Amino acid sequence: MTDWFARPVLHVRDVEASLLFYMERLGFTSPWRYDADGRTHVAQVDRQSCALILADTWPEKIGKGLMFISLNVSRNDETETREAAVAALDSLRAELEARGVAVKEGSWGYRLLVVDDPDGNQLFFNYPAETASGKMAGDEA
């Protein structure tokens, strides 16, 4: 069996400026970039298991990206897992705000932590959703 590795493309006006934001503010690294005519046109940024490609190749798509990012925590106990997930997101929020990132609260049927990049692309970090029974959505009985 072959594993897939997905890297969504976020369209940006200026890849160099976006690299600075993703690396200095969001804590990503950049393993590669494509330069031509003295400018960077495409680059990848990574943080843990999250990889994104930043590109200036389709101007009509700039700022229209939306990326859902989940923080995975160990699944020992349902309550501990929920608490660990909330703590991980709260810690991420504190880290990003300390780096000068504007972090917003959002909702899409459940609570979100929302970050806009300089071009308007959005990163949605989801808090664990609860069902009526108090179990996290996706947990098995």
pTM, rounded to two decimals: 0.85
- Is the pLDDT score of 135 beyond 60? no
How does 8-24 read in b/e, with b if 16+ C-beta sit within 10 Å? eebbbebbeebbebbee
Express each pLDDT in 13-40 by its tens digit.
999 999 999 999 999 999 999 999 999 9
Express each pLDDT in 1-11 by its tens digit.
899 989 999 99
Predicted confidence at residue 88, as pLDDT, reads 93
The distance from CA 110 to its chain's CA centroid, rounded to whole angstroms, is: 17
Predicted confidence at residue 39, as pLDDT, reads 96
C-alpha–C-alpha distance, residues 4 and 97, integer Å: 33
Express each pLDDT in 50-91 by its tens digit.
999 999 999 999 999 999 998 888 666 555 688 888 999 999
- Is the pLDDT score of 131 beyond 70? no
Tokens of 25: 């503010």
Tokens of 1: 């069996």
DSSP letters, 35-56, are EETTEEEEEEEEETTEEEEEE-
Q: Residue 136 gets which letter from DSSP? A: B
CA angle 100, 28, 59 (to 5 degrees): 85
